[in-house]
Amino acid sequence: MFYRQTNQIDFVNHYPSLIQPLLSFRLKMLVHLSFILFLPYISTIDIIQVRVSTDSSNSWIVRNEHEGFIIDCGCYWQHGEILARKWRENFPNEKLPAFIFLTHTHSDNILGLPSFLNELNITQVPVYVSSVGALNEMNYWLEIWQEINPFESSTLLDKRQSPNQFRYNEHIKVLDHPLTMFDDEKIHIISNFPAAESIHSSMVYVPTVRALFTGDLVAVNSHLFVSPSDAYSDSDNHVCNWIGVLQSLSCAFPSSTRLYPAHGDGQSSMSFIETIDANIRWLTYMRALVFNSCNTTFVMRILEDVFRNYSNIEQSRASLANRIPDSAISLGCKCSRNAPNTCGGLQPPACQFVPKNRTLSTRTTALSIGCVHQQIPASSVHLRIDYIFLFIILSTNIF
């Protein structure tokens, strides 16, 4: 073996003018062949976060160099303007989004649509929700906002966002066809969740970049908004369902999944599993506190101490206000004028996703909801088998 290696080295040293150009040519051919075969499968998808401030809702632009789409529109008039300008920065050739998808229809996800269209000087772009139920929920919230009517007085909103002036139902439609982007990649829309954070929630999954857009179902370094429209006992059923939905995500998506929430930061320093678990623990701990206290401020202080990166104090306090003290009273606690702070270890009603007599949930809990979807692969990229054989044959012949 050593002798043959020496001969080969000597041959190269004695005839460099013949061998080296040949090797160089073959290497270049292999590189070019690899580039040609694999280039269509190299992801060049960018994900851009758009928000007005750290405590406002997020929009996401998902794009490559040729096309893109948007997830959620934000709330404030300025949000829609910033979203439109950011879109135009990435597509100065007047190209429009292929579509906008709304993960859910709370006001902080839809009210930015009028200013987005206005800033781009257009009247229409496809805007989708997952179901008729999501449209009904949108109309429920729009009626509330119409009654409150902050559009005339708020410095963050504009009267052009009012349902009296902008016909949201003429722009937002139920998705009735598969979505494909970026060279026919399927965009997964996951919905039909039990009533949880929202009555009708959806998530969007882009396989090639393992990106999961969670709406309000998952938060990263932000509050988890528990809807103030619910009253006990529906409110507790929704929180229980929410815990179950979160538990199911870890078996439905790869551990390498990247989370893009509607509130909070984009990429978390925690892993996918760690982030999901932090959300579950927040909800479970919050639920145990709510059923044991007559004081909203006390509950929020404890949550803030235990989960320093998972509480937006003002919004979370507002969302818990109608659960306290009603939840504790329902278990027999004698509440009067925000007292007592604690009711002596009362156990919340049974929730199938929370172990009995446990404050903090564990990932070993049985999941009666099961996976929300059959497991979605980390990537939809699959080289055709004939391309693989072609690559092997050509590379063998080159050498």
Domain with residue 115: its CATH number is 3.60.15.10
Half-sphere exposure of 172 (CA within 13 A, CB side): 29
Structural domains of the chain, count: 1
Q: What is the CA radius of gyration of the chain?
A: 27
- 6: helix, strand or coil: helix
Question: Is 348 part of any domain?
Answer: no
Which pair of structure tokens corresponds to residue 27?
Answer: 């290497």
Q: What is residue 394's predicted lDDT score, i.e. its pLDDT?
A: 38
Task: Name 74's Cβ contacts closer than 8 Å, sequence gap at least 6.
Answer: 50, 51, 52, 56, 57, 58, 59, 80, 83, 108, 109, 111, 112
Tell me 57's DSSP state.
B
Which pLDDT value is given to residue 64? 93
Q: Please report, to the nearest 10 degrees, the dihedral formed by the alpha carbons of residues 334, 226, 308, 49 taken in order.
A: -170
Q: Is residue 343 part of a domain?
A: no
Strand order in the sheet with 179-181: 179-181, 185-190, 203-206, 211-215, 258-261
Positions of the chain with pLDDT under 50: 1-15, 18-19, 22-23, 35, 357-370, 372-373, 378-399
Asked if residue 206 belongs to a domain, the reply is: yes
In a domain, 197, yes or no: yes
Per-residue confidence (pLDDT) for residue 12, from 0 to 100: 42
Per-residue model confidence (pLDDT) at position 186? 93
Q: Is the pTM value of this prediction over 0.95? A: no
Q: Is residue 205 part of a domain?
A: yes
Q: For the chain, how are helix, strand and coil distributed in percent, rounded to 5? A: 40, 15, 45
φ, ψ of residue 83 in degrees (nearest 5): -60, -45
**In terms of residue numbers, what domain contains 181?**
47-217
Between CA 160 and CA 158 the distance in angstroms is: 5
Q: Decide if 145 contacts 114 (C-beta within 8 A).
A: no
Q: Is residue 372 part of a domain?
A: no
3-state secondary structure 111-165: CCHHHHHHHHCCCCCCEEECCHHHHHHHHHHHHHHHHHCCCCCCCCCCHHHCCCC
At 230 the pLDDT is 59
CA dihedral 149, 155, 159, 160 (to 10 degrees): -130
The answer to the question of residue 277 being in a domain is no
**Neighbouring residues of 5: CB distance < 8 A, sequence distance ≥ 6:** none
Q: How far apart are CA 177 and CA 79, in angstroms?
A: 28
Residue 53, pLDDT score? 81
373: Cβ contacts below 8 Å, ≥ 6 apart:
188, 190, 252
Residue 177 DSSP SS3: coil
pLDDT of residue 102: 97
Q: Return the structure tokens found at 79.
A: 């949000």
**pLDDT tens-digit map of 297-314:** 888 888 888 776 665 555
Does a structural domain hold residue 367? no
CA distance 60 to 57: 10
